[in-house]
Structure 1
Amino acid sequence: MEIIFQVAFILLAGAATWLFSKNILQIRRNILLGRDEDLTDQPAVRWNNVLLLALGQKKMFKNPLVAIMHFIIYAGFIIINLEVLEIVLDGILGKHRLFTAVLPAGLYRFLINAFELLAVGVLVVCVVFLARRNLLKLKRFMSKDLNGWPRSDANYILITEILLMGLFLTMNACDTLLQQRGAEHYAASATGNFAFSSFLHPLLGGLSADALTLIERTCWWLHIAGILAFLNYLPYSKHLHILFAFPNAYYTRLQPQGKMENMPDIQKEVLYAMQPELIPAEAAENHKKFGAKDVFDLSWKNLLDAYSCTECGRCSAACPANMTGKKLSPRLIMMKTRDRAEEVGKNITANKSFVDDGKTLLHDYITAEELRACTTCNACVEACPVSINPLDIILQQRRFLVMEESSAPQEWNGMFSNTENNFAPWKFSPDDRDSWVSEV
């Protein structure tokens, strides 16, 4: 019977690993649809960003209470995976609590007690976060940005975390009770009781050894199957940021916030307009597109940003345009960019290469009205806990609107015309610029 369970576990783990790898590779392909961008300079600074922003969650601590609760869930996810390693090895090798034979008894008990402490912390915090979303109904969680699947996604994850932690504690409680009764397969572990699961003993103590074994094995299988299912749910969920926050922090742009990219190609266009004789013969054939119309025109870092988005809404909550009722929502900009990248990826999977579907990120997903509402204040960039830059995507699409489609509000066109003719945004002749001195 034991060999059947081993084979079943190996097949389950293998299938889950294969499916996860397949989905992650597809996401990687989608990200690399973007144009190339070199973000490998200053590695020491980049590793510092990984340490502070991704691992240390530095930006989250602007709200200390929420940051601590989020850190408990985060630490639980990272550290409890050490316990998962033992479960996986037990499943493959047909053992029970394999590490008790490797680690000193005191150290093993300390580790499991620490895991249980984290499990209780994760369970409590998930309940609190569920209440914040569904009872307190915080404004950024009630936004229409999250209508439909995105709102359900967050609740499903929190409920899953609660169930997984409950299964872990119940499994340990049954295990230690069976040890006390000298049950075969359990007595050899001799771990003694654990700090938190022992509180479940009064609820389970009246059950027979067979019933306890059934509950313990059921919890064991559901716990590891739930973790493998959670792993494969990540590529379809906003919780992919659990993995992508680290590369996103490393590859974040290091220039000061607010510094806009100066495009030499635009400078050349202006120069050629003023001095046509300088236009190279091959210039017409090698015309470079200005700005971004679709995901292919964005950089791979823009697309990594989109897949790293936590949908927390801090960017939109900080956005002055959004606060004043404008259509712009930086969070929605990232969600729509990811949706378009996903659609393009499915197109490529189905057709082996991209077949024009008559859609583009600009216009079909993101409207000119949204883009023009942006004040370029960088509040969204500053607010993001995982170093996402919605502003860069907005600016690139707005650049395409103006320079490729000649689409701009009348007020902008007036400013452009004044700048071209008067070298300033105002409708005054350069010769009259110092006239105010004579009026003093």
Structure 2
Amino acid sequence: MISQVIFFCLLFGALAFFTINARRIYRNIRLGKSDDRSGDTKARVKTMLLVAFGQKKMFKKPLPAVLHLFVYVGFCIINIEMLEIVIDGLFGTHRALSFMGSFYDFLIYAFELLAFAVLVSCLIFFIRRNALQIYRFKGRELKGWPKSDANLILLTEIILMAAFLIMNAADYKLQTQGFSHYHLAGSFPISSYLAGILPDNSNSLIAIERAAWWLHIIGVLAFLNYLPLSKHLHIILAFPNTYFSNLKPKGKFENMPAVTAEVQVMLDPSLPPPSGEVGRFGVKDIQDLTWKNLLDAYTCTECGRCSAACPANITGKLLSPRKIMMDTRDRLEEVGKQIDKNKAFEEDGKSLIDDYIKREEIWACTSCNACVEQCPVNINPLEIIMGLRQYAVMEESQAPSSVNAMFNNLENNGAPWKYAQADRANWTNS
């Protein structure tokens, strides 16, 4: 009975703490401006099924895609067993779902194979991330905590799968010994081999089985509450993020409504002047971004595929699309913590531009959309970059000399080039 009470307290506490963190993240995302991502439900569901569930874009790199698929499918399916663990923990039963008979045997058989696949895949990922010189894992933004975060998650998954298999191995050996409470249930293709290295003493086996059981459940609950603090929040947010993807062509840029209204009035004076005042042109801080931009920031997996495909990053420029998303999330978290402390945001003298993202970064972007195309969960760093550029130009009149020269040519010659309109066709005479 004591163990059941302890289990209930752990389960209730973990779920309550996760709910608090989930509400905080939802509140932070809603700090962004409105952005209509409704409509065309069929296309949105299709995108979510292909990109999030089917991991379609992951398979541009087959080896990590297959390994990630093992981890993704294995971890999701194995956690179906959490239902049985919760029932056993609350009611003091043992393998409560074993009444399903042969189907239960099939489930445990599949769970063990998947657990082994997850364990091996995580080991390979750990080696790839730490021992192999893979370009996308060497960005300056991954130094310190981000690298530790990724390694901690991999090690946690390895420990959880090892605990699951050891628990089953001890359980299997107790079953074969006919020990009371450990009735015959399940099929163990992996742990039956591990049973040979365990002691034969029943008391020792029970201690090992119980220790592995508690380690597994506590590890899962801890992992659940670690998600909101880590990049692995994408396990949850990848689905809404892909559902609310921008369905328009990637090369299509949206005009600012306030600017469009002003231009229309200039071209047609009969139109009424725009009503209301524009708060800000472009993006200075996270409040100027849309809620979808902020959802993107929380969904970022930090995989680096965007930066590895970015031509500016490849040629050694400061820009890294992954860093853009990480910086946006860091600033959003900072603003959220201040709101938690003061009940409302108070100007702190900081902003996304300059304090987090340098101007050299945003002007290095070629707006080629390679980062958007490569992202496995349809994140769009380019929208943030363009918003920061708009603020720099339209609010501060600050832009590189080459961009200012282009603006002057547009104003004076009607084109980006320095040539007068009358001279544009002169090249045909040569």
What's the TM-score bracket when you normalise by the shorter of the two chains?
over 0.9
1:270 deviation in Å? 4.3
**Aligned twin of 1:109:** 105
Quick check: 1:140 aligned with 2:136?
Answer: yes
Quick check: 1:212 aligned with 2:205?
Answer: yes
Correspondent of 2:420 among 421, 426, 429 = 429
In 2, Cα distance between the equivalents of 1:193 and 1:269? 71
TM-score normalized by the length of structure 1: 0.94
Correspondent of 1:387 among 378, 394, 403 = 378
**Aligned twin of 1:403:** 394
1:137 deviation in Å? 3.1
Quick check: 1:155 aligned with 2:148?
Answer: no
Correspondent of 1:307 among 292, 295, 298 = 298
In 2, Cα distance between the equivalents of 1:174 and 1:431? 87
Would the alpha carbon gap of residues 369 and 273 (structure 1) be closer, same or farther in structure 2, given more than 3 Å must change?
A: farther
In 1, Cα distance between the equivalents of 2:140 and 2:224? 28
**Aligned twin of 1:327:** 318
**Does the aligned pair in 1 maintain the 2:409–2:416 contact within 8 Å?**
yes
Would the alpha carbon gap of residues 273 and 326 (structure 1) be closer, same or farther in structure 2, given more than 3 Å must change?
A: farther
In 2, Cα distance between the equivalents of 1:308 and 1:331? 11
In 2, Cα distance between the equivalents of 1:106 and 1:271? 71
* Cα offsets for 1:69-106 (capped at 9, x unmatched): 110000011100111111011111211100012x1x21
What is the DSSP-based 3-state SS (H/G/I as helix, E as strand, rest coil) of the residue aligned with 1:185?
coil
What is the DSSP-based 3-state SS (H/G/I as helix, E as strand, rest coil) of the residue aligned with 2:409?
helix
Correspondent of 1:234 among 227, 232, 241 = 227
**Does the aligned pair in 1 maintain the 2:95–2:185 contact within 8 Å?**
no
1:194 aligned partner, one-letter code: F
Correspondent of 1:195 among 189, 193, 196 = 189
In 2, Cα distance between the equivalents of 1:174 and 1:435? 85
Would the alpha carbon gap of residues 133 and 229 (structure 1) be closer, same or farther in structure 2, given more than 3 Å must change?
A: same
In 1, Cα distance between the equivalents of 2:73 and 2:186? 25
**1:147-296 mapped onto 2 (5 Å cutoff):** 147-187=143-183, 190-191=184-185, 193-204=187-198, 206-270=199-263, 280=273, 286-296=277-287
2:305 aligned partner, one-letter code: R
1:279 deviation in Å? 7.8
* Cα offsets for 1:363-387 (capped at 9, x unmatched): 1111111000000000000110010
1:278 deviation in Å? 7.2
Aligned Cα RMSD in Å? Answer: 1.7
What is the DSSP-based 3-state SS (H/G/I as helix, E as strand, rest coil) of the residue aligned with 2:80?
helix
**Does the aligned pair in 1 maintain the 2:106–2:187 contact within 8 Å?**
no
What is the DSSP-based 3-state SS (H/G/I as helix, E as strand, rest coil) of the residue aligned with 1:29?
helix
Q: Give aligned pairs, total.
A: 430
In 2, Cα distance between the equivalents of 1:276 and 1:288? 24
Would the alpha carbon gap of residues 212 and 346 (structure 1) be closer, same or farther in structure 2, given more than 3 Å must change?
A: same
- The worse-fitting range, judged by mean Cα deviation, of 417-426 and 222-231 is 417-426
1:193 deviation in Å? 4.7
Quick check: 1:417 aligned with 2:408?
Answer: yes
1:265 deviation in Å? 2.1
TM-score normalized by the length of structure 2: 0.96
**Aligned twin of 1:48:** 46
Quick check: 1:68 aligned with 2:66?
Answer: yes
1:427 deviation in Å? 2.4
* Cα offsets for 1:206-247 (capped at 9, x unmatched): 331111001101110110000000000000111110111000
* Cα offsets for 1:179-230 (capped at 9, x unmatched): 122222113xx115511110012111x3311110011011101100000000
1:342 deviation in Å? 0.3
**Does the aligned pair in 1 maintain the 2:175–2:182 contact within 8 Å?**
yes
1:138 deviation in Å? 1.4
**Aligned twin of 1:57:** 55
Correspondent of 1:351 among 342, 345, 356 = 342
1:433 deviation in Å? 4.0
1:133 deviation in Å? 1.0
**Aligned twin of 2:23:** 25
In 1, Cα distance between the equivalents of 2:300 and 2:247? 19
**Does the aligned pair in 1 maintain the 2:35–2:290 contact within 8 Å?**
yes
1:288 deviation in Å? 4.1
In 2, Cα distance between the equivalents of 1:90 and 1:400? 57
In 1, Cα distance between the equivalents of 2:338 and 2:269? 42
Question: Percent identical across equivalent pairs?
Answer: 56
**Does the aligned pair in 1 maintain the 2:283–2:387 contact within 8 Å?**
yes
1:263 deviation in Å? 2.3
In 1, Cα distance between the equivalents of 2:59 and 2:213? 35
1:262 deviation in Å? 1.9
1:62 aligned partner, one-letter code: K
* Cα offsets for 1:86-138 (capped at 9, x unmatched): 1011111211100012x1x2110110010000000001111111111111131
**Aligned twin of 1:119:** 115
- The worse-fitting range, judged by mean Cα deviation, of 178-187 and 14-23 is 178-187
1:359 deviation in Å? 0.6
What is the DSSP-based 3-state SS (H/G/I as helix, E as strand, rest coil) of the residue aligned with 2:283?
coil
**Aligned twin of 1:93:** 91
In 1, Cα distance between the equivalents of 2:300 and 2:281? 26
In 2, Cα distance between the equivalents of 1:436 and 1:6? 85
1:432 deviation in Å? 4.0
- The worse-fitting range, judged by mean Cα deviation, of 285-294 and 405-414 is 285-294
1:184 aligned partner, one-letter code: S
